Structure 1
């Protein structure tokens, strides 16, 4: 059973990625969620409606024990499963000016994005190396590429994942494993729902927010055999706001 795992797959960009990977019917989709089981099950229903298979799995990406326990149990229950695609999408924001930022807001944002990348990818990477095939796709952000005021924690977390992406890509390339990062700008999702779109659109050359499906299409390409010679890259998808 060839499988793709998407962390934070229950809503927004994560859900769109799950659906995009399901369209090709190449992979069984493992939809990770932390607390919103109802939304994860909605994603699963949409995947099944596309004629693909999937299941939901609950763990907190920032908690190593939670990740290892859940994934070990899943592997034990699915001994024939081969995870070929990892999409590290789970992330949180706790915005605020750095000078007033509590340590808890710093730690939780870094632990979710950066430790989350480590916890999930590290669990599978040896198996990928043995199988001599894999696709690791990390969802980062324009904030991690250029930095965003009021998001020092989020920018640091995503920049850390970008550095890890470039380094790991070099370690595993000989075994036909690619590691890339996708850096969205302003995308219509739950995470950006509170933002003033009318004002922010003025900064974007494309004159609109992006759609989650557009990010998912890029992820789908990077997950495919067509992208085998692309690795260690950070691909911006931001309507021209920064490149």
Structure 2
């Protein structure tokens, strides 16, 4: 317990108003000490969330990429791309690589890692979803998710409290980006991905589609995510997810306009 505010308040109060002032100053100093203590606890908690998010992101990333027995060059490039998007310093990039390599190790325990992650970050469901999105993004590095990787991702999703339906929505959101170019899905498949990414069906009204879109954009707003504990370095990733949500909405909106 800090006595700095109490002592300072009592001293200043006594100097100005005597013993009555000292009592008032002591009381005000008490509230100041409590306020400062709360700020320190909140700051320490936020730092713990950020460090845990960073560490677990890359260890689990290594585990997911190794789930099918090997880590491909495409997956390594995907992990490196994430590091580049995060604009990591040389030191933090080294830490990220070390964490990724620990996750690849045969004796790595993903369940324990996820349990600790949930203990620290579980009060912020949006952070859990962003974490899972990053894992799915890396798994899509080869253009599609291998069965063993999808099994690992589903196990992680369940440990995070993410339902199969929400997992499918996140998978569709990322598929809209990683399945473009040669071998890209048909227009119909792309539209289906867009609806699934927004979490609505084709039968949804325009108002329901817009409401789902706005909800997702709000959840992925970088400033809100940082306030909840997303490391500053991951702002670019949050912006990329927002762009994917925007793309999904525009795909649905254009389709509906063309059919009116």
TM bucket, shorter chain: 0.3 to 0.5
Which structure has the highest strand share of the two?
1
Q: Choose 1 or 2 for highest CA Rg.
A: 2
Normalising by the residue count of structure 1, what TM-score does the alignment of the two structures yield? 0.34
